[in-house]
């Protein structure tokens, strides 16, 4: 079952966070060869997609921190079990202020035979004040 993580974002801001996957023994999950996908929608029901990201994690890839210039999408460290998530300002600017959107992140194993939702939640949009 997916973990739930609800977040707040100021309309028009870039939202970034990281998550760490571990197996039942506490060892970092090897993401090498996996595919990660994420979508943001206004609701769970059929609605248009606000943001959609999908990446393949190369075997042996590593990141110690958010990749430089990473402003939207998914990035992952194969050997460290780390997934970096960013929803770019272009996408959060499309959300109505004081609205709530839904998202989830799915992991597909290297064989492509199993897909698991690893994180899901709500994005609550807070109105921005500064507009240049």
Q: In this predicted structure, what is the pLDDT of residue 70?
A: 67
CATH of the domain at 106: 2.60.40.10
Q: Domain range for residue 21?
A: 3-126
User: Per-residue pLDDT tens for 79-117?
Assistant: 888 898 888 888 888 787 778 889 999 999 888 789 999
* Token pair 């997609």: residue: 49
Residue 94 lies inside a defined structural domain of this protein:
yes
Query: Is 132 within a domain?
Result: no
What is the model's pLDDT at position 129?
A: 85
pLDDT at position 64 is 57
Domain presence at residue 88: yes
Can you list the residues of the chain whose pLDDT is less than 70? 1, 63-71
Q: Two tokens at 107?
A: 């992991």
Beta bridge partners of 30: none
pLDDT for position 116: 93
Total number of domains constituting the chain: 1
For residue 64, being part of any structural domain is answered with yes
C-alpha–C-alpha distance, residues 91 and 28, integer Å: 31
Predicted local distance difference test score (pLDDT) of residue 94? 79
- Asked, for residue 51, whether it belongs to a domain, the answer is yes
Model confidence, pTM: 0.86
Model pLDDT, residue 96: 79
User: What are the φ and ψ backbone dihedral angles of 111, each rounded to 5 degrees?
Assistant: -80, -15
118 in Cβ contact with 107 (< 8 Å) = yes
The predicted structure's pLDDT at residue 128: 85
Residue 53 near residue 73, CB atoms below 8 Å: yes
Domain assignment present for residue 53? The answer is yes
Is 131 inside a domain boundary? no
Q: Where are the alpha helices (DSSP H) in 60-100?
A: 89-92
């Amino acid at each position: 079952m997916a973990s739930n993580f609800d977040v707040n974002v100021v309309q028009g801001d870039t939202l970034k966070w990281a998550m760490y996957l571990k197996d039942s023994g506490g060892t970092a999950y090897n993401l090498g060869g996996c595919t990660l996908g994420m979508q943001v929608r206004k609701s769970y029901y059929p609605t248009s997609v606000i943001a959609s990201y999908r990446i393949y994690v190369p075997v042996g890839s590593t990141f110690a921190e958010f990749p430089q210039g990473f402003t939207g999408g998914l990035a992952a460290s194969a050997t460290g079990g780390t997934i970096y998530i960013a929803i770019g300002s272009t996408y959060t600017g499309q959300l109505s202020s004081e609205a709530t959107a839904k998202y989830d992140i799915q992991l597909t194993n290297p064989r492509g035979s199993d897909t698991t939702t690893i994180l899901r939640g709500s994005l609550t949009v807070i109105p921005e004040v500064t507009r240049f």
